Amino acid sequence: MTMSAARSEPATIARALIRAATRASLGTRMPDGAPYVSLVLAACAPDASPLVLISDLAEHTKNLRRDARGSLLFDGTAGLANPLTGARVSVVGRFAPCEDASLRARYVARHPDAAAYNDFHDFHLWRMAVERAHLVAGFGAIHWIPGDALLGPAADALAAAEPEIIRHMNEDHGAAVALYARNLLGLDGDGWSMTGIDPEGADLRRQGDTARLLFEQPIAGPEQARTTLAALARQARARVP
């Protein structure tokens, strides 16, 4: 299967929505069984498992402590004249508090403003154990996706190296990051930094704006990351925006 064909696969489309999202609608159950939907800032683990950093005082957190079942709607329809033609995915699973410091750091890198309350004793990171997802990618393009098909590989070696890769790119190769934004993504290249890297791409941020740089082939470790990012930099230099 070619990479272009892989990107049209339902699980790949759904995973891309999760990875690119900065917010989601969180559905939980109230004590009387009624549905409760709230807005949360979202990030994900390297395998695309959703992450939320939420306060113990919030209604959705109280709901999850009573009933761990929940859903997240990731909406990729922004900017479309008819949003119903765009892609969105509802991810269903069970939430549990997560004490993984690296995932918490990944969340804060995705949402720098969260650093202001990251250390508050009543804020905790929660990770969803995905059971299934429902993708609507436009009219007639509707798919149920099993949880094990939705998630990508954990890529432990890449995850362990992620902080150093990001530091190195932002401190030593800021010009390359700017070229990614300008020549590969068609954005104003000034002010962008890299905030995350996973097997399928890298996350960029400039103040409140985010962008996703996709890789042509999945990567598994730091050496592949170096090779891929260098190749993308060469591609960006050769391309006229």
Q: Which two tokens stand for residue 64?
A: 């999850």
pLDDT tens column, 11-42 = 999 999 999 999 999 999 999 999 999 999 99
Residue at 68: amino acid letter: A
Is pLDDT above 60 for 231?
Answer: yes
pLDDT tens column, 161-220 = 999 999 999 999 999 999 999 999 999 989 999 999 999 999 999 998 999 999 999 999
> Average pLDDT, whole number, for the chain?
94
CB 165 within 8 A of CB 197: yes
What domains can you pick out in the chain, each with its CATH number? 3-150 (2.30.110.10), 156-238 (3.20.180.10)
pLDDT-above-90 percentage for the chain: 90
User: For residue 140, what pLDDT is reported?
Assistant: 81
pTM over 0.75: yes
pLDDT tens column, 46-61 = 999 999 999 999 999 9
Burial class (CB in 10 A: 0-12, 13-18, 19+), 179: buried
Three-state secondary structure call for residue 29: strand
Which helix (H) or strand (E) segment holds residue 10: the answer is helix 10-20
User: For residue 235, what pLDDT is reported?
Assistant: 96
